[in-house]
Amino acid sequence: MKLLTRYLSREIYASVGLVFAALIMLFAFLDFIHELSVMGYGQYSLGFVVLFVVLTIPGHIYELFPVAVLVGTIVALVQMAARSELTIYRASGASTAQMLGALCKIALPMIIISFICGELLAPPAERMAQKLRLKALNTPVSMQAFRSGVWVKDEHTFVNVKSVMPDTSLADIVIYSFDAGFHLDTIISARRASYARPGSWLLADVLQTRFDKSGVTTQILQTQEWQSALTPGILSVMLVVPEQMSAYDLYKYTEHLKENKQQSARYAIAMWNKLIYPFALLVMMVLALPFASYQRRSGGISVMIFMGIVLGLIFHFTGRLFASLGALNDWQPLLSATAMTGLFLLIGGVMLWQVERR
């Protein structure tokens, strides 16, 4: 069985590598074509375009891992079936359970690589790519959910930010502070804000307005320190979508939203999806195993590859659909994140059962 595992791993890793190379080149080329439409604005030259595309590759690797593993495993198994190698292994006593055990061992290194890529490589690379692009284009980050800009709640304080710069400094910031009875206590307006040290921001060009029983008082200050639980890490969520953040950052931001009694479903679903997603590789390999038995009657390897690509795309896009529906309808985050993985595992189990019946 060790010989079978070594041979299977060699065939599967080679096929997955080839599929990955094709998919990454395709997506990198599409990104490059897309970025050419804004090349020339500001300092966004060809060199910046190429660097941006290179920095987005880790994110594509993480997103495309299940598709590449499914298609690559199908290719490897169908080719082995065409050469009657799988028939020889089954005739020598290798059961379906042993084949699944071998696939689990083969999937383990890829699960680890996927987790490392999704947690340690893709999120910082994506943030760096977005910062590089915004800085070269001289464009601030501004989420126009409202005409007034971005609103953030921090305990008894509501913060309005017009723009977040690529270095996560803030521009045109207004801070509304309320007392324990939720009466407006202070309004602080500042042209700029930079993160000075943990828990503290340095405001510049400040206009402070206080409301008390004696009346309204205003004060103009060049700089002022502002204590807040907000951090550049929390604000960096404006640079990347939740699906491209690390599970740790998603956990911290979800806790921040819960503490401030705000909706956190989208980020909680993305966090669970990050933790579950690498294990989808094992599900893809289980799903690929029954395809080897259909090779002769289905017309060849090209049909198997096409079916694998279709199933992989269905898994990818339907999983995102479930996540969006879960965020909109406030479904249980773990259920929303694992629905498609569980469904595909069930489909793979049913296909294997049908193969064994024959």
Q: What is the pLDDT of residues 81-137, one digit of tens each?
A: 777 777 777 777 777 778 888 888 899 999 999 999 988 898 889 888 887 887 787
- Give the H/E segment covering residue 215: strand 215-227
Residues 24, 106, single domain; the answer is yes
Q: Does the structure show a pLDDT above 60 at 145?
A: no
Residues 166, 134, single domain; the answer is no
Q: Does the structure show a pLDDT above 90 at 50?
A: yes
Residues 15, 92, single domain; the answer is yes
- Give the H/E segment covering residue 178: strand 170-178
341 in a structural domain: yes
Residues 157, 130, single domain; the answer is no
Residues 186, 290, single domain; the answer is no
248 in a structural domain: no
User: For the chain, how many structural domains are there in total?
Assistant: 2
List the domain range (segments joined by +) for residue 69: 2-138+260-357
CA 271: distance to chain centroid?
9
| Alpha helix positions (H), 138-229 | none
Largest CA distance in the chain: 93
144 in a structural domain: no
**Domain end point (choices 173, 203, 238):** 238
Residues 130, 32, single domain; the answer is yes
Q: What per-residue confidence (pLDDT) applies to 144?
A: 44
Nearest one of 127, 130, 148, 125 to 140, comparing CA atoms: 130
Residues 173, 226, single domain; the answer is yes
Residues 134, 8, single domain; the answer is yes
Q: Does the structure show a pLDDT above 50 at 298?
A: no
| pTM score above 0.75 | no
Residues 91, 190, single domain; the answer is no
**Domain end point (choices 238, 269, 302):** 238
Is the CB of residue 201 less than 8 Å from the CB of residue 225?
A: yes
Specify the DSSP class assigned to residue 291. G
Distance CA 275, CA 262 (A): 23
Residues 75, 208, single domain; the answer is no
186 in a structural domain: yes
Is the CB of residue 65 less than 8 Å from the CB of residue 114?
A: yes
Q: Which pLDDT band holds residue 179 (cuts at 50, 70, 90)? A: confident
Q: What per-residue confidence (pLDDT) applies to 51?
A: 93
CA 139: distance to chain centroid?
23
Which segment of 69-78, 135-144, 285-294, 324-333 scores lowest on mean pLDDT? 135-144
Q: Which pLDDT band holds residue 21 (cuts at 50, 70, 90)? A: very high
Q: Which pLDDT band holds residue 188 (cuts at 50, 70, 90)? A: very high
Residues 176, 75, single domain; the answer is no
250 in a structural domain: no
CA 239: distance to chain centroid?
13
Residues 222, 275, single domain; the answer is no
